[in-house]
Amino acid sequence: MTFQDHIKQGIPSELPSKKTYEKAINHAPKRMDILSKEEKELAIRNALRYFDKKHHNILAKEFAEELKEYGRIYMYRFRPDYKFYARPINEYPGNSIQAKAIMHMIQNNLDVAVAQHPHELITYGGNGAVFQNWAQYLLTMKYLSEMNDEQTLIMYSGHPMGLFPSNTNAPRVVVTNGMMIPNYSKQNDWEKFNALGVTQYGQMTAGSYMYIGPQGIVHGTTITVLNAGRKIAKNGEPLAGKLFLTSGLGGMSGAQPKAGNIAGCITVCAEVNPKITEIRLSQGWIDEKITDLNELAVRVKRAKENKEVVSIAFLGNIVEVWEKLAEENVYVDLGSDQTSLHNPWAGGYYPAGISFEESNVMMVENPELFKEKVKESLRRQVAAINKHTAKGTYFFDYGNAFLLEASRAGADVMAINGIDFKYPSYVQDIMGPMCFDYGFGPFRWVCTSANPIDLEKTDKIACEVLEEIRKNSPEEIQQQMIDNIQWIKGAQENKLVVGSQARILYADAEGRMKIAEAFNNAIKNGEISAPIVLGRDHHDVSGTDSPYRETSNIYDGSKFTADMAIQNVIGDSFRGATWVSIHNGGGVGWGEVINGGFGMVLDGSLEAEKRLKSMLFWDVNNGIARRNWARNEGAVFAIKRAMEVEPNLKVTLPNLVDDSILNDLF
């Protein structure tokens, strides 16, 4: 059977043979055994809905076994044998170019070279799912191969509800992930309802098919490390010889060492998982691996003396590194953490003092004790970090809920007022005021030809567009423009592609619209050989309401609301997005954030040009308008500029209040 026939077949009518559990693959940890007997029966009944009755006998037993063994029903037997990767768009069957582009994106998210736990359909972040099970994947791909441009595929947390009549201007796919009644949105609710098979954690770009490998995050991380470096520079000196200590070599965190190299510092990144460390080493994303703490201290001292630009992975626990470097009096210039604390009890954070293997067993067999160990470890980690910051280390939270979980564990992270944390988040200090408030965010594109030559052409086009824009850019955004031009110039050389032919580039509304328009023209005149998918990380100006991350620099009290993210996805969907998604969870955890995104297919047509202008303008300026209303200076500046360019835009501006007016009122 050809690949196309497989896709068109959907769920096979005859059972494929059972799969062996491939040990060499990085598998999801066993999930919590949280369902009652009745709920387990319900989970089996739910899973069997996808299959003909004649198979129920065999599958019921098999799924019960999976539930027992892995805590979830993945339906491993149905995982197709063909290779998963972003194939050239014309290799996908179907009637709709837009739908084929979406298949290209889905397969990229499940590519073994890209996905964290490909067999459990997890792309990144430990639990960032594209689908809950293989039946959902098969059925979704079948629908995409059948649909036309007057239909919309409706996705409920990985489950394809079906194709519904719509119109050519409507999105081809509408995705919701993990949308819960607010009172049922606690961490254990995810465990329960995900085990039942009725919801999933879509992370940000996993469940929205927009993940492009660690590159997506290298750029943002480079910007963060560079700007953190500028913050600590006493006389504008570069980062050479300075030490950046952090943790995690996973889906996103794995970008840190590469970003450190691009930014020009010494990076030490601790990682407890040997498999992941090996992968990053073999990919060239880290330069060296060290397994012994004494050796690490010696190596770091030498790197500092020689002002080396080097990235070192320490295979072990981050807590021990903070402690060891304090003991050895090694000065850490920049510090952060990227363990997956949005998922603290199920493998996101490995406590110090217990081996990796022991932890994996304990979190399932003795979850209460494991919880205690995590909390104890967080308190220890913070105590060590505090020793460093007392000497001047600049520590920032990397949006992984480190400070939040550390505070919940009783660690010494609260500011004197007892409300704020004593350390800033990277969005509060860096990303928010320097990027998001001006509309700069992680714009991205994917060449569906899967041809690196097309990507090279797009890099060149994007660079030319930015250089042109820069000539007339105001002083306020000059540094941004310079950093982004430098990034795109070095992108080819830095060999950032893992998976699809994709590029990330921070740009503001003007940049995104002009780059997209230039791409559309290049497709129209044949310079670029196939459609391009535009998108972005949800971690952006407008897409995400997350009080401790994307919206942590909103100070009018509205950071606990989620109107912006919801407005954004609604607005994108009627302004021409090819697909839209809205998620609960993502980055900082289930119940802690609402985030959304879009995908837009450019095919060189006039309709695509109209859509990109309308949608990208809204997609950025919605967030700037809200940030402006929160009195953020950069955003007030940016929205006034946007109104000058677009007379149809009329945004409410805030009146600032003198402090003295508030004296003696209460």
> Which residues form the interface with ligand NAD (CB under 6 A)?
116, 124-126, 217, 220-221, 247-253, 255, 270-273, 276, 317-318, 338-342, 348-350, 398-400, 539, 587
Q: How far is the CB of 240 from ligand NAD (least distance, A)?
A: 23
What distance in Å separates the CA atoms of residue 360 and residue 354, rounded to the nearest whole number?
Answer: 10
Three-state helix/strand/coil letters over 134-159: HHHHHHHHHHHHHCCCCEEEEEECCE
**Cα four-point dihedral sign 632, 566, 211, 317:** positive
Q: How far is the CB of 270 from ligand NAD (least distance, A)?
A: 4
In the complex, the smallest distance separating the C-beta of residue 342 from ligand NAD, rounded to whole angstroms, is: 4
Least distance CB 24 / ligand NAD (angstroms): 17
**Nearer Cβ to ligand NAD, position 297 or 318?**
318
Nearest to 509 by CA among 643, 647, 605: 643
Smallest distance, ligand NAD to C-beta of residue 555, A: 20
Which of residues 75 and 409 has its CB atom nearest to ligand NAD in the complex?
409
Closer Cβ to ligand NAD, 336 or 567, answer by number: 336
Phi/psi-derived region of residue 486, left when phi > 0, alpha when psi is between -120 and 50, beta in every other case: alpha
Q: Which of 616, 615, 639 is nearest to 627 (CA)?
A: 639
- Show Cβ contacts of residue 29 under 8 Å, excluding neighbours closer than 6 positions: 126, 346, 347, 360, 363, 364
| Token representation of residue 264 | 């020009």
Distance CA 27, CA 116 (A): 8
Residue 538 CB, shortest distance to ligand NAD, in Å, is: 10
Say if residues 616 and 578 touch (Cβ distance below 8 Å): no
Residue, CB closest to ligand NAD: 250
Identity of the residue, 242 or 342, whose beta carbon is nearer to ligand NAD in the bound complex: 342
CB 210 within 8 A of CB 535: yes
Torsion region of 651: left, alpha or beta (phi above 0 gives left; psi -120 to 50 gives alpha): beta
415 φ/ψ sector (left φ>0, alpha ψ -120 to 50, else beta)? beta
Nearer to ligand NAD by Cβ, of 10 and 128: the residue is 128
Contact 242, 265 (CB under 8 A): yes
Tally Cβ neighbours within 10 Å of residue 188: 12
Name which of 270 and 502 has its Cβ closer to ligand NAD.
270
Question: CA-CA distance, 398 to 549, in Å (whole number)?
Answer: 8
What is the DSSP secondary-structure string of 277-310?
Answer: HHHHHHTTS-SEEE--HHHHHHHHHHHHHTT--E
Q: Which of 247, 294, 237, 295 is nearest to 267 (CA)?
A: 247
Q: Which residue, 250 or 257, has its beta carbon nearer to ligand NAD?
A: 250
Whichever of 174 and 276 has its CB closer to ligand NAD, that residue is 276
Judged by beta carbon, residue 59 or residue 498, the one nearer ligand NAD is 498
| Nearest residue (CB) to ligand NAD, 11 versus 255 | 255
377: Cα separation from own chain's centroid: 26
Assign 545 to helix, strand or coil.
strand
Alpha-helical segments (H) within 110-254: 134-146, 187-196, 215-232
- Least distance between ligand NAD and beta carbon 221 (Å): 5
Q: How far is CA 164 from the centre of its chain?
A: 29
- Closest to ligand NAD by CB, 384 vs 639, is 384
Q: Are 466 and 412 spatial neighbours (Cβ–Cβ below 8 Å)?
A: no
Considering the complex, what minimum distance in angstroms separates the CB of residue 230 from ligand NAD? Answer: 18
Residue number, 110 or 530, with CB nearest to ligand NAD: 110
Residue whose CB is less far from ligand NAD, 223 or 509: 223
Whether 588 and 342 have beta carbons less than 8 Å apart is answered as: yes
Tokens of 56: 């129920």
| Residues forming beta bridges with residue 534, ordered by sequence position | 445, 600
CB of 249 to ligand NAD, least distance (A): 6
Structure-derived torsion over alpha carbons of residues 210, 214, 217, 219, reported in degrees to the nearest 10: -110
Minimum separation from the CB atom of position 256 to ligand NAD (A): 7
Residue nearer to ligand NAD on the CB measure, 217 or 601 = 217
Residue 390 CB, nearest distance to ligand NAD (Å)?
22
CB of 250 to ligand NAD, least distance (A): 2
Find the shortest distance in angstroms from Cβ 23 to ligand NAD: 18
Closest separation in Å from C-beta 126 to ligand NAD: 4
